[in-house]
Amino acid sequence: MPENKPITKNVDWIVVLIYIACLAIGWVNIYAAVYNPEVQTSMFDVSNNAGKQLMWIGTAALLIVCILVIDYKFYETFSFIIYAVVIALLVLVLFAGSNINGSRSWIKIGAFSLQPAEFSKLAISLAIAKYLSDPAISLTRKLKDYYPIMGIIALPAFLILLSNETGSMLVFASFAVVLYREGMPGFIPAIGMVMAALLIITLLFVKWYIAGAIIIIAGLAIWIMPVMTRRRGGLWATILVSLVMIGIVFGVDFFMNNVLQKHQRGRIMVLLDPDSDPRGIGWNVIQSKIAIGSGGFAGKGFLQGTQTKFDFVPEQSTDFIFCTVGEEHGFIGAAIVVFLFVCLISRLVILAERQRSRFARVYGYCVAGIIFFHFMINVGMTIGLMPVIGIPLPFFSYGGSSLWSFSILLFIFLKIDAQRPFTLSRG
Amino acid sequence: MLENRRFVIIGFFSLVGLIYLLRLFYLQVLDESYSIESSSNSIKRVIEIPFRGQIYDRTGKLIVYNTPVYDLLVTPRKARVEDTLRFCQVLGIERRDFDSLMAAAAAYSPFKPSLFLRQLSKEDFASIQDVMVDYSGFEFAKSSLRTYTAPTLANTLGYVSEITRSQLEKQEEPYYRQSDYIGQSGIEKIYENELRGKRGTKFVMQNVAGVYKGPWKNGELDTMAVAGENLYTGIDLEVQQYADSLMVNKVGSVVAIEPKTGQIISMVSAPTYDPNILASRHFSKNFAALARNPYKPLFNRPVMASYRPGSTFKLIQALIGLQAGVITPESGFTHANCPMGCHVHPATSTVALGVMHSCNPYFYNVFRRLIYKNNITNTFRASAVGLDDWHDKMSKFGIGQRLGIDLPSEYKGNLPNKKYYDRFYGEYRWKFSNIYSLSIGEGELLITPLKMANVAAIIANRGYYYTPHVIHGIGDKKYVKPEFLERHDSGVDPRHFDPVIEGMIGAVEGGTARRSRVEGITIAGKTGTSQNKKGDDSSIFIAFAPADDPKIAIAVFVEYAGAGGSAAAPIANLVIEKYLTRKVTNKALEERMLKADFMSKVILPGVKKPVTTDSTRKKPVPADSVKKKPAAPAKPVVSNRPVAVNP
Ligand SMILES: [Zn+2]
């Protein structure tokens, strides 16, 4: 077996280079975000976030070396054990966690804090991949095969909900991507998106109008459909779908007023109309749009950003790091970051598709989906296209937990991918 | 089949990326309202710093307010000064000042405005403003100066100054910026969050030259600055200044409390300084001078200085003894079998007489009974248990505890317990005979003037106190902090106070403090002498009046002034009379106290005494030379009279 060939030969260098580029750009922008012209500290000073991030990057590099050294079969063999360990950590944090910003989800080790919730994505990905690696499982035909997947996702989601960290829970929606690829009928994610759209429309318009519109569209569909297709049962399906949609519209009202907490409701309302609350929650959105918008085409230059300094944009080095990119490096800088992410995610999909084992493919899609969702929500939030949900931008945002978890997530896949020539096809 | 779904997935990812790129292009390139580069105007955020809250006295008189001033800022890279000479003339500065100020500003940042000249008065501003138009790169910023209506209360009020580097780095939320002001001591520090108000933010448009072009987006996003909350003190400014005048040329404290509420009526820390000198352009120079002053005018003596309580402590001993039942009001003790000396006085056959004549053996016996009250036969063990029991009872009077006054650095004092002596002697290696000096307020006890004023308030209230506090109302609603409305019990029943108060009245009428009694007011008081190893003893007096309906409780400490009756009692009684009647009848006594100078007796550590006849005096000292008055009283290095305002 030629397994002792150096890993450097087989690892996908395109992904590695994009990864390094993201870390470098992120680190420089963290420094710019925390840079205070009145209390200047060096980029390497561990008293500021940039210096600390450098330490995190260094430790991440060590982790990556470990991941690449460990036998690739380890991840598949131990995926359920890794899942169990993360679940145990999530339970532990509920009892022994330190309270940071109102959410009890951190484990403090000295001056640094770790967030087990960040690692739940990795655990779920491995567990789903392991589960789906059984060729007998089919997502196309058997509904009961979905139950274990629901369980795998729901257990950590429930624990995270208990620790009041709803932001990272939403990312679990990203597993829809892999399920779709593995055979989930296309209408399910479509319904998800329609529901999200309905939610927003309901908040903007009177619910009776929307109900009327749905009925009209359904009527048109029923009238046109027999002409377009020859399928039967379309009539009842359309009526059912319309009724469900109308139900959703009326349910949203209830959902908004009784299920969501006040600050969550506010975040959704602000997405629709930031000017509704310019001093409160809208502040974040407005300030972040000003910061990005003021960057112009070419940006103001490194450390020349004014809007991201002091308290202009909240959490500049963590969740709003993209503002600093947009302000100091303009449209060019922001476009490069968007481009990097689209390239990275597309490359991951391509890599996933060339895997011979189903485990590797499913895991690859999980990684791509998770990074994509983080990117979509985080960047969308800063440019006012998504509600303000506090989740990090992978490889860019300051924070050890997120950097570690994304690096581990990514490099486990790269390791598996590097061993691809030696794995046997199993389905 | 399913493999083809990858195209849907990649397509969806790319679509989101494309939407985001379009959105970014719209925000950053097309939408003019956010763009700075594409228009000639730039958006600038201006932080508006509100006025600090004002501080009032108990009668509504203003103590601290703000005077608007102007700071001149320079942006070095933009600065154009062709004729430096004229520029310097206009500003009234030297050429080398100009160079050093410019260099400092450039070192800070060539692109950002930094402070050039601080605190120009309104008049200066008016005369300079027109000329400054000729020089680009300079701008004015409105600011304000703390201003004090009277040269008093310097240490209580504290001062405001530029935030220090370490404070700047330590702040949890980035609120302050360099060169911002922050309360550094006293009330200004403790109530910083209330006084500072809420900063406003304005977004304004400027053209390339920095000329104001109106609000950005019609000021929609601006927030108004909100002035700081006013603070209402319990200080009586008139009495405060009167007490100040009596403490001139003395080192010590006056603390007066309203017993029923715990409000501080007056708080003198002598020597003092005029607070206005630390609220001027010459802050650094003046502060350095105060810090160097050997009499430590920046040391807030009422809450920070430590003394032994001396005989004033006997009052609490008597109260605890009565409560514990080891004595009754009719208990009498003689000088027999006591290792302590006493002076010649009539028989002390009751508690009241014991207090009135301040008989040392009397309280030696009370304390002995308190320590040996338990039924333990081993005297070592009995002392250990007895002392801890006594310690708990004493603590309820605030001795050895932080009272929680709203001033920084309150000294806790010292009240020894078993553990304390175990460290010196070892467990069960000491007994009453080692610690009896505590009975008369000597030994290892340490208190502050504030604590003894509070003891006077407890006795005046017959058993309880409210935490002494300076601020008795925050903001327009005059909100009182709940901790200042909480009644603290001393653990001694009201009836036990009667004999002690009777003794205190006796002490003022015919006992140790009889020379300073006030006609028409019944004052209950007790003198004390805090022994000083290095020089003359400190004179202590605590009192309250009127005895039947107390309105003021007071403690006066005068260092190096000898026995309690000599300086502290007269000053206390003059202040009491002033507060209760607004006038002073005993003009001769007042005159004597105003003139009294105990400062020349102060022995400064490490500082050679000014040359006087007794300048060679060193320990051990022959008794007669101590009494000798200096032939030519030397002026202290710095007078403790309020220092003149620096122009
Ligand atoms: Zn005696």
pLDDT tens digits, one per residue of A6-16: 666 788 899 99
**Using CB atoms, which residue from A36, A182, A297 is nearest to B28?**
A297
Going by pLDDT thresholds of 50, 70 and 90, the confidence category of residue B40 is very low
Site from A323, A324, A338 to mutate, B interface, most B CB atoms within 10 angstroms: A338
Task: Supply the mean pLDDT for chain A.
Answer: 79
pLDDT for A271 equals 58
CATH code at position B630: 3.40.710.10
**Using CB atoms, which residue from B6, B28, B173 is nearest to A353?**
B6
pLDDT at B635 over 50: no
pLDDT for B31 equals 77
* Strands laid side by side in the B264-270 sheet: B264-270, B252-257, B552-558, B538-545, B524-530
Asked if B3 reaches chain A (Cβ–Cβ under 8 Å), the answer is yes
CA distance B39 to chain A (A): 11
Q: Is residue B57 part of a domain?
A: no
ipTM above 0.90, yes or no: no
pLDDT for B634 equals 35
CA distance B157 to chain A (A): 29
Asked if B35 reaches chain A (Cβ–Cβ under 8 Å), the answer is yes
B115, B145, B175 - which closes a domain = B145
- CB count within 10 Å of CB B510 equals 13
Q: What is the arithmetic mean of pLDDT over B179-201? A: 88
Q: Looking at A341-350, B16-25, B187-196, B605-614, which range is the least confident one?
A: B605-614
Q: Looking at A266-275, A373-382, B37-46, B206-215, which range is the least confident one?
A: B37-46
Contacts of B23 in chain A (CB under 8 A): 383-385
Report CB contact under 8 Å: B21, A338.
yes
Q: Are B575 and B246 in contact (CB under 8 A)?
A: yes
Domain range for B349: 237-638
Q: Are B541 and B527 in contact (CB under 8 A)?
A: yes
The pLDDT tens digits for B352-385 are: 999 998 899 999 999 999 988 878 888 888 888 8
CA of B557 to the centre of ligand 1 (A): 24
Residue type, A176: A
Report CB contact under 8 Å: B178, A38.
yes
Q: Is residue B47 part of a domain?
A: no
pLDDT for B98 equals 83
- B468 and B583 inside one domain: yes
Rg (CA), chain B: 32
Q: What is the arithmetic mean of pLDDT over A263-277? A: 62
Going by pLDDT thresholds of 50, 70 and 90, the confidence category of residue B172 is low
CA of B575 to the centre of ligand 1 (A): 30
B93, B121, B145 - which closes a domain = B145
User: A352: nearest CA in chain B?
Assistant: B6
Q: How far apart are CA B257 and CA B460, in angstroms?
A: 11
Contacts of A181 in chain B (CB under 8 A): 2, 5-6, 9
Q: Are A304 and A378 in contact (CB under 8 A)?
A: no
Q: Is residue B273 part of a domain?
A: yes
Contacts of A177 in chain B (CB under 8 A): 9
Report CB contact under 8 Å: A326, B168.
no
pLDDT at B329 over 80: yes
The pLDDT tens digits for B516-552 are: 778 888 999 998 888 777 777 888 999 998 999 999 9
pLDDT for B459 equals 94
CA distance B220 to chain A (A): 9
pLDDT for A110 equals 62
Report CB contact under 8 Å: B9, A177.
yes
Rg (CA), chain A: 23
Residue type, B369: R
pLDDT at B260 over 90: yes
How many separate domains does chain B show?
A: 2
Going by pLDDT thresholds of 50, 70 and 90, the confidence category of residue B267 is very high
Q: What is the arithmetic mean of pLDDT over B22-47? A: 69
pLDDT at B620 over 50: no
Contacts of B27 in chain A (CB under 8 A): 289, 292-293, 326, 383
pLDDT at B621 over 50: no
The pLDDT tens digits for B112-170 are: 677 788 777 777 787 777 777 777 778 787 888 889 998 899 999 999 988 888 887 77
Going by pLDDT thresholds of 50, 70 and 90, the confidence category of residue A335 is very high
Report CB contact under 8 Å: B27, A180.
no
Q: Are B407 and B387 in contact (CB under 8 A)?
A: no
Report CB contact under 8 Å: A294, B36.
yes
- B279 and B411 inside one domain: yes
Report CB contact under 8 Å: A39, B34.
no
pLDDT for B626 equals 34
pLDDT for B544 equals 94
pLDDT for A395 equals 92
**Using CB atoms, which residue from A186, A294, A311 is nearest to B34?**
A294
Going by pLDDT thresholds of 50, 70 and 90, the confidence category of residue A388 is confident
Looking at B3-127, which runs of residues are DSSP E strands?
Answer: 42-48, 55-56, 62-74, 114-120
**Using CB atoms, which residue from A181, A286, A384 is nearest to B2?**
A181
pLDDT for A96 equals 72
Q: What is the arithmetic mean of pLDDT over A48-67? A: 88
Q: How far apart are CA B619 and CA B286, in angstroms?
A: 35
pLDDT for B618 equals 35
CA distance A6 to chain B (A): 30
Q: How far apart are CA A302 and CA A28, in angstroms?
A: 9
pLDDT for B627 equals 35
pLDDT for A128 equals 92
Report CB contact under 8 Å: A345, B174.
no
Going by pLDDT thresholds of 50, 70 and 90, the confidence category of residue A275 is low
Going by pLDDT thresholds of 50, 70 and 90, the confidence category of residue B638 is very low
Q: Is residue B402 part of a domain?
A: yes
Q: Is residue B10 part of a domain?
A: no
How many residue pairs from chains A and B have C-beta atoms closer than 8 A?
Answer: 113
Report CB contact under 8 Å: B34, A289.
yes
User: A185: nearest CA in chain B?
Assistant: B2
User: B27: nearest CA in chain A?
Assistant: A293
CA distance B25 to chain A (A): 6
Asked if B13 reaches chain A (Cβ–Cβ under 8 Å), the answer is yes
Contacts of B4 in chain A (CB under 8 A): none
Q: Is residue B543 part of a domain?
A: yes
Site from B20, B33, B109, B170 to mutate, A interface, most A CB atoms within 10 angstroms: B20
pLDDT for B632 equals 37
Q: What is the arithmetic mean of pLDDT over B274-300? A: 87
CA of B193 to the centre of ligand 1 (A): 53
Does residue B632 or residue B268 have the better pLDDT?
Answer: B268
pLDDT for B136 equals 77
pLDDT for B639 equals 36
pLDDT at A17 over 90: yes
Q: Looking at B347-356, B450-459, B553-562, B636-645, which range is the least confident one?
A: B636-645
Report CB contact under 8 Å: A353, B5.
no
CA of B439 to the centre of ligand 1 (A): 13
B145, B170, B203 - which closes a domain = B145
Q: Is residue B22 part of a domain?
A: no
pLDDT at A399 over 90: no
**Using CB atoms, which residue from A180, A293, A346 is nearest to B31?**
A293
Q: Is residue B647 part of a domain?
A: no
Q: Looking at A293-302, A355-364, B583-592, which range is the least confident one?
A: A293-302
Contacts of B10 in chain A (CB under 8 A): 346, 349
- Find all residues with CB under 8 Å of B524, minimum gap 6, and list them: B459, B460, B501, B504, B505, B507, B508, B543, B544, B545, B547
CA distance A294 to chain B (A): 4
pLDDT at A164 over 80: no
